[in-house]
Amino acid sequence: MTKKNKYAIGVDLGGTTIKLGIVTNSGRILKKISVRTQAEGGPKKVIGNIISGINELNAKSKYKIEGIGIGCPGVVTPGKGIVENPPNFPGWEKINIGKIIFQEFNRPVLVDNDANAAAIGELTFGSGKNYKSFIMITLGTGVGGGIVMNKKIYHGDFGAAGEIGHISIDYKGPKCNCGSYGCIEAYAGNQYLRHRVRHQLKKHPESKLWKIIGNDLSKVSPRNIQGAAESGDAFSKSVIDELGVYLGSAFASLVNVLDVSVFIIGGGIAGFGKPLFDSIKKTISRRVMAPIRPRVRVLPAKLKNDAGIKGASALVFHHN
């Protein structure tokens, strides 16, 4: 088997850390490192750090590298490797990372938005393997999305497609940091969720969550909510159920518009597990037309740790 292995470098460009790994075409990480992003130093600094990271990773490497995949924040021009205005990267407008890294290493370089890379990761190595079309959602600080249609990422005309987090489920709902109202990110994004639960918890003095957080509201977190729910706390269970209603309502609109009925969910909050997935599925089923219901699937992402590195490397294997 080892003889048939192919190898790629996956680069997960984050706001504070760049994670890099050598990954096999079956999704196994052979070696990995982290370097600081130093985004405040501007694009030259960041790209210099990517290059020295790749050099460090690849030093004395015995692997023939097929290519380098980079997952990064911001809008990526489809097929061009140009990264536009990644949030929290000052001094950055449009930079052709793909071209610069190619010139340095003379290997194919594939660049995509991190949420799209996560989707390609699931398609290549994970829960999306057996599906032609699915929607990947990553629940974290924000709510990232990637749309896979016919085994390819749907990028849209300008590379900005897939912003599932900014589907509004209530046009008069809570203000989202994107400027709109009622986006699911404004319900399911980590900070929004904590904020809402802190507020709701005050009306539930009976909740076991109080004990878990030691009566300190600043300690409300997805992990603590999950802990309370698992110990049977009705309030915490209702929080998870409600989150499923929010997400499921947005997903039902997507089913109706895109005729895609498979949803793969990753990121920290996906750790709520079965109760969350059941609530999402029940909500979608109630809100889409009867013939579609049997096709609806809501699956946990398979790639957990190092999903960023694996997804980025999958850009290379998927392209070949």
Q: Is 156 in the site for a second copy (CB under 8 A)?
A: yes
36: three-class secondary structure by DSSP: strand
Q: Is 281 in the site for a second copy (CB under 8 A)?
A: no
Shortest gap between Cβ of 206 and a second copy (angstroms)?
26
Q: Is 291 in the site for a second copy (CB under 8 A)?
A: yes
Strands 82-84 and 75-76: antiparallel
**Count of CA atoms in the C-beta half-sphere (13 A) of 233:** 22
Closest CA to 248 of 231, 266, 258, 261: 261
**Binding span for a second copy by CB under 8 A among 1-9, 54-62, 96-104, 180-188:** 180-188
Pick out residues in 135-154 that bind a second copy (CB under 8 A). Answer: 145, 147, 154
Shortest gap between Cβ of 126 and a second copy (angstroms)?
20
Closest CA to 246 of 179, 183, 171: 183
Sequence-separated (6 or more) residues with CB below 8 Å from residue 79:
none
Q: Is 244 in the site for a second copy (CB under 8 A)?
A: no
Shortest gap between Cβ of 242 and a second copy (angstroms)?
11
Can you tell me which of 63, 92, 105, 181 binds a second copy, judged by CB under 8 A?
Answer: 181
34: three-class secondary structure by DSSP: strand
Q: Which is nearer to a second copy, 155 or 194 (CB)?
A: 155
Give the CA distances from residue 169 to residues 10, 98, 126, 246, in Å, rounded to whole numbers and listed in that order: 35, 36, 29, 7
The per-residue DSSP string of 246-272 comes to: HHHHHHHHHHHHH---EEEEESGGGGG
Q: Applying CB under 8 A, what is the total number of residues that bind a second copy?
A: 48
Shortest gap between Cβ of 171 and a second copy (angstroms)?
4
Q: Is 172 in the site for a second copy (CB under 8 A)?
A: yes
CB 69 within 8 A of CB 117: yes
Q: Is 270 in the site for a second copy (CB under 8 A)?
A: no
Can you tell me which of 28, 36, 211, 286 binds a second copy, judged by CB under 8 A?
Answer: 286
Q: Is 116 in the site for a second copy (CB under 8 A)?
A: no
Residues that bind a second copy (CB under 8 A): 85, 132-133, 145, 147, 154-164, 166-172, 178-182, 245-246, 249, 252-254, 256-261, 286-292, 295
